[in-house]
Amino acid sequence: GAVVSQHPSRVICKSGTSVKIECRSLDFQATTMFWYRQFPKQSLMLMATSNEGSKATYEQGVEKDKFLINHASLTLSTLTVTSAHPEDSSFYICSAEHREGGTQYFGPGTRLTVL
Amino acid sequence: QQQVKQSPQSLIVQKGGISIINCAYENTAFDYFPWYQQFPGKGPALLIAIRPDVSEKKEGRFTISFNKSAKQFSLHIMDSQPGDSATYFCAARVNTGRRALTFGSGTRLQVQP
Protein backbone atom coordinates (compact mmCIF):
# COMPACT_ATOMS: atom_id res chain seq x y z
CA GLY A 1 0.00 0.00 0.00
CA ALA A 2 0.91 3.66 -0.34
CA VAL A 3 2.85 4.91 2.67
CA VAL A 4 3.53 8.45 3.77
CA SER A 5 6.01 9.13 6.56
CA GLN A 6 6.56 12.18 8.69
CA HIS A 7 9.57 13.10 10.75
CA PRO A 8 9.77 13.85 13.57
CA SER A 9 6.68 12.32 15.16
CA ARG A 10 7.01 14.58 18.19
CA VAL A 11 8.99 17.73 18.82
CA ILE A 12 9.26 20.03 21.79
CA CYS A 13 10.98 23.34 21.30
CA LYS A 14 11.46 26.67 23.00
CA SER A 15 9.58 29.74 21.94
CA GLY A 16 11.38 31.61 19.16
CA THR A 17 13.07 28.63 17.58
CA SER A 18 12.29 27.14 14.16
CA VAL A 19 11.14 23.60 13.57
CA LYS A 20 11.28 21.61 10.34
CA ILE A 21 8.88 18.75 9.62
CA GLU A 22 9.50 16.36 6.75
CA CYS A 23 6.83 14.54 4.76
CA ARG A 24 7.82 11.72 2.42
CA SER A 25 5.87 9.44 0.12
CA LEU A 26 7.82 6.21 0.49
CA ASP A 27 6.61 4.07 -2.36
CA PHE A 28 4.94 6.40 -4.80
CA GLN A 29 5.37 9.72 -6.49
CA ALA A 30 3.13 12.51 -5.29
CA THR A 31 1.83 15.11 -7.66
CA THR A 32 0.77 17.33 -4.85
CA MET A 33 1.30 17.41 -1.11
CA PHE A 34 -0.92 19.07 1.44
CA TRP A 35 -0.27 20.33 4.94
CA TYR A 36 -2.98 20.27 7.59
CA ARG A 37 -3.22 21.39 11.16
CA GLN A 38 -5.45 19.70 13.71
CA PHE A 39 -6.38 20.91 17.17
CA PRO A 40 -7.62 18.45 19.81
CA LYS A 41 -11.01 16.98 19.01
CA GLN A 42 -11.32 19.07 15.89
CA SER A 43 -11.23 18.42 12.18
CA LEU A 44 -8.29 18.89 9.87
CA MET A 45 -7.67 22.41 8.68
CA LEU A 46 -5.87 22.81 5.38
CA MET A 47 -2.89 25.12 5.65
CA ALA A 48 -1.31 24.92 2.23
CA THR A 49 -1.01 22.99 -0.99
CA SER A 50 2.34 22.39 -2.63
CA ASN A 51 3.44 21.06 -5.97
CA GLU A 52 6.93 19.89 -6.75
CA GLY A 53 9.14 22.70 -7.92
CA SER A 54 6.64 25.51 -7.43
CA LYS A 55 5.57 27.85 -4.67
CA ALA A 56 3.02 26.63 -2.19
CA THR A 57 -0.53 27.96 -2.18
CA TYR A 58 -1.57 29.02 1.30
CA GLU A 59 -5.08 29.10 2.70
CA GLN A 60 -6.56 32.36 3.86
CA GLY A 61 -5.27 33.30 7.28
CA VAL A 62 -2.15 31.13 7.10
CA GLU A 63 1.04 33.21 7.26
CA LYS A 64 3.34 32.09 4.47
CA ASP A 65 6.38 33.68 6.11
CA LYS A 66 5.74 31.75 9.31
CA PHE A 67 4.95 28.40 7.76
CA LEU A 68 7.57 27.87 5.06
CA ILE A 69 6.90 25.01 2.68
CA ASN A 70 9.43 23.50 0.33
CA HIS A 71 8.54 20.76 -2.12
CA ALA A 72 11.90 19.68 -3.47
CA SER A 73 10.91 16.47 -5.20
CA LEU A 74 7.96 14.23 -6.04
CA THR A 75 8.48 12.38 -2.77
CA LEU A 76 9.48 15.07 -0.26
CA SER A 77 7.88 18.17 1.17
CA THR A 78 8.97 20.09 4.26
CA LEU A 79 7.12 22.47 6.55
CA THR A 80 9.20 24.84 8.65
CA VAL A 81 7.52 26.65 11.50
CA THR A 82 9.62 29.76 11.97
CA SER A 83 9.95 31.58 15.28
CA ALA A 84 7.52 29.18 16.89
CA HIS A 85 5.29 30.37 19.73
CA PRO A 86 3.07 28.43 22.13
CA GLU A 87 0.01 29.11 19.98
CA ASP A 88 1.69 27.16 17.17
CA SER A 89 1.50 24.02 19.30
CA SER A 90 -0.65 21.59 17.36
CA PHE A 91 -0.78 18.33 15.43
CA TYR A 92 0.56 18.82 11.92
CA ILE A 93 -0.37 16.28 9.27
CA CYS A 94 0.73 16.03 5.68
CA SER A 95 -0.89 14.16 2.85
CA ALA A 96 0.38 13.15 -0.55
CA GLU A 97 -1.72 12.76 -3.65
CA HIS A 98 -0.77 9.67 -5.62
CA ARG A 99 0.36 10.59 -9.10
CA GLU A 100 -1.71 7.73 -10.50
CA GLY A 101 -5.33 7.80 -9.46
CA GLY A 102 -5.28 10.88 -7.27
CA THR A 103 -5.92 9.19 -3.92
CA GLN A 104 -4.63 11.17 -0.94
CA TYR A 105 -2.67 9.30 1.67
CA PHE A 106 -1.92 10.83 5.03
CA GLY A 107 1.19 10.77 7.13
CA PRO A 108 1.10 9.78 10.82
CA GLY A 109 1.33 13.39 11.98
CA THR A 110 3.80 15.44 14.01
CA ARG A 111 2.96 16.70 17.47
CA LEU A 112 4.57 20.10 18.00
CA THR A 113 4.77 21.55 21.49
CA VAL A 114 6.24 25.02 21.89
CA LEU A 115 7.22 25.93 25.43
CA GLN B 1 -19.78 26.88 -0.74
CA GLN B 2 -17.08 24.40 0.26
CA GLN B 3 -18.57 23.16 3.51
CA VAL B 4 -19.25 19.54 4.29
CA LYS B 5 -21.60 18.97 7.22
CA GLN B 6 -21.21 15.80 9.24
CA SER B 7 -23.43 14.23 11.90
CA PRO B 8 -23.63 13.02 14.55
CA GLN B 9 -20.77 14.53 16.48
CA SER B 10 -20.50 11.41 18.59
CA LEU B 11 -22.01 7.95 18.44
CA ILE B 12 -22.18 5.02 20.83
CA VAL B 13 -23.00 1.62 19.38
CA GLN B 14 -23.11 -1.83 20.90
CA LYS B 15 -20.79 -4.50 19.57
CA GLY B 16 -22.36 -6.15 16.56
CA GLY B 17 -24.57 -3.19 15.78
CA ILE B 18 -24.63 -0.90 12.77
CA SER B 19 -22.90 2.48 12.95
CA ILE B 20 -24.25 5.14 10.61
CA ILE B 21 -22.59 8.49 9.97
CA ASN B 22 -24.05 11.08 7.63
CA CYS B 23 -22.60 13.90 5.56
CA ALA B 24 -24.15 16.58 3.38
CA TYR B 25 -22.54 18.97 0.94
CA GLU B 26 -23.47 22.02 -1.08
CA ASN B 27 -20.87 22.24 -3.83
CA THR B 28 -22.15 20.28 -6.84
CA ALA B 29 -18.64 20.34 -8.30
CA PHE B 30 -17.50 17.79 -5.72
CA ASP B 31 -16.92 14.49 -7.45
CA TYR B 32 -14.93 12.40 -5.01
CA PHE B 33 -16.10 11.47 -1.53
CA PRO B 34 -13.71 9.56 0.76
CA TRP B 35 -14.11 8.48 4.35
CA TYR B 36 -11.15 8.49 6.73
CA GLN B 37 -10.65 6.77 10.07
CA GLN B 38 -8.41 8.38 12.66
CA PHE B 39 -7.15 6.94 15.93
CA PRO B 40 -5.86 9.27 18.67
CA GLY B 41 -2.41 10.62 17.90
CA LYS B 42 -2.38 9.13 14.40
CA GLY B 43 -2.95 10.44 10.91
CA PRO B 44 -6.21 9.71 9.06
CA ALA B 45 -6.36 6.45 7.13
CA LEU B 46 -8.46 6.08 3.99
CA LEU B 47 -11.33 3.65 4.58
CA ILE B 48 -13.42 3.77 1.47
CA ALA B 49 -14.28 6.30 -1.24
CA ILE B 50 -17.01 6.80 -3.80
CA ARG B 51 -17.63 8.85 -6.92
CA PRO B 52 -21.08 10.25 -7.77
CA ASP B 53 -21.71 7.89 -10.66
CA VAL B 54 -22.58 5.07 -8.25
CA SER B 55 -25.09 5.01 -5.40
CA GLU B 56 -23.39 2.49 -3.16
CA LYS B 57 -19.99 0.98 -2.58
CA LYS B 58 -19.16 -1.81 -0.19
CA GLU B 59 -15.80 -2.94 1.10
CA GLY B 60 -15.96 -5.57 3.81
CA ARG B 61 -18.02 -4.23 6.71
CA PHE B 62 -17.91 -0.67 5.37
CA THR B 63 -20.51 0.70 2.95
CA ILE B 64 -20.94 4.16 1.46
CA SER B 65 -24.40 5.16 0.34
CA PHE B 66 -24.55 8.15 -1.97
CA ASN B 67 -27.59 10.25 -2.86
CA LYS B 68 -26.63 12.70 -5.57
CA SER B 69 -29.98 14.49 -5.78
CA ALA B 70 -30.04 15.09 -2.02
CA LYS B 71 -26.31 15.88 -1.95
CA GLN B 72 -25.82 13.47 0.91
CA PHE B 73 -23.64 10.46 1.57
CA SER B 74 -23.28 8.16 4.53
CA LEU B 75 -20.97 5.55 5.99
CA HIS B 76 -22.40 2.33 7.38
CA ILE B 77 -20.24 0.09 9.55
CA MET B 78 -21.83 -3.33 9.84
CA ASP B 79 -21.14 -5.64 12.78
CA SER B 80 -19.35 -2.84 14.62
CA GLN B 81 -16.44 -3.93 16.78
CA PRO B 82 -14.64 -2.26 19.72
CA GLY B 83 -11.62 -1.91 17.44
CA ASP B 84 -13.70 0.37 15.22
CA SER B 85 -13.77 2.95 18.01
CA ALA B 86 -12.17 5.98 16.41
CA THR B 87 -13.00 9.32 14.84
CA TYR B 88 -14.41 9.19 11.34
CA PHE B 89 -14.20 12.03 8.85
CA CYS B 90 -16.07 12.39 5.60
CA ALA B 91 -14.50 14.53 2.94
CA ALA B 92 -15.16 15.81 -0.55
CA ARG B 93 -13.07 17.11 -3.41
CA VAL B 94 -13.42 18.64 -6.84
CA ASN B 95 -11.46 16.96 -9.58
CA THR B 96 -9.90 20.11 -10.99
CA GLY B 97 -7.78 22.93 -9.72
CA ARG B 98 -6.48 22.70 -6.20
CA ARG B 99 -7.89 19.21 -5.45
CA ALA B 100 -7.68 19.73 -1.71
CA LEU B 101 -10.04 17.72 0.49
CA THR B 102 -12.78 19.52 2.36
CA PHE B 103 -13.38 17.65 5.61
CA GLY B 104 -16.45 17.23 7.73
CA SER B 105 -16.24 17.99 11.43
CA GLY B 106 -15.75 14.37 12.44
CA THR B 107 -17.71 11.74 14.37
CA ARG B 108 -16.32 10.07 17.47
CA LEU B 109 -17.51 6.48 17.42
CA GLN B 110 -17.43 4.34 20.52
CA VAL B 111 -18.32 0.67 20.17
CA GLN B 112 -19.14 -0.87 23.51
CA PRO B 113 -18.26 -4.53 24.10
| Nearest CB partner across the interface for B105, out of A43, A46, A93 | A43
pLDDT given for residue B19 in this prediction? 98
| Nearest CB partner across the interface for B106, out of A34, A43, A97 | A43
Residue A61 clears pLDDT 90, i.e. is over it: yes
CA A21, CA A44: separation in Å to the nearest integer? 17
Mean pLDDT, rounded, for A87-97: 96
pLDDT band at B77 (very low <50, low <70, confident <90, very high): very high
pLDDT given for residue B95 in this prediction? 75
> What are the CB-based long-range contacts (under 8 Å, 24+) for B77-82?
B77/B18, B77/B19, B77/B20, B77/B109, B78/B18, B79/B16, B79/B17, B79/B18, B80/B13, B80/B14, B80/B15, B80/B16, B80/B17, B80/B18, B80/B19, B80/B109, B80/B111, B81/B15, B81/B111, B82/B15, B82/B111, B82/B112, B82/B113
Lowest mean pLDDT across A104-108, B52-56, B81-85, B93-97: B93-97
In chain B, which among 40-69 make CB contacts under 8 A with chain A?
41-46, 49
Q: Is the peptide bond before B44 cis (omega within 30 degrees of 0)?
A: no
| Nearest CB partner across the interface for A109, out of B43, B89, B108 | B43
CA B65, CA B28: separation in Å to the nearest integer? 17
Find, in chain B, the residue whose alpha carbon is nearest to that of A4: B43
Best to test chain B binding among A32, A44, A55 (most B CBs inside 10 Å): A44
Lowest mean pLDDT across A30-34, A76-80, A90-94, B20-24: A30-34
Residue B97 clears pLDDT 80, i.e. is over it: no
pLDDT band at B2 (very low <50, low <70, confident <90, very high): low
Best to test chain B binding among A31, A60, A98, A104 (most B CBs inside 10 Å): A104
User: What letter would DSSP give residue B16?
Assistant: T
pLDDT given for residue A91 in this prediction? 97
Mean pLDDT, rounded, for B8-35: 96
CB contact under 8 A, B101 and A95: yes
Q: B30-53 pLDDT, tens per residue?
A: 999 999 999 999 999 999 999 999
CB contact under 8 A, A104 and B103: no
Mean pLDDT, rounded, for B66-85: 97
Best to test chain B binding among A36, A69, A106 (most B CBs inside 10 Å): A106
Find, in chain A, the residue whose alpha carbon is nearest to that of B33: A103
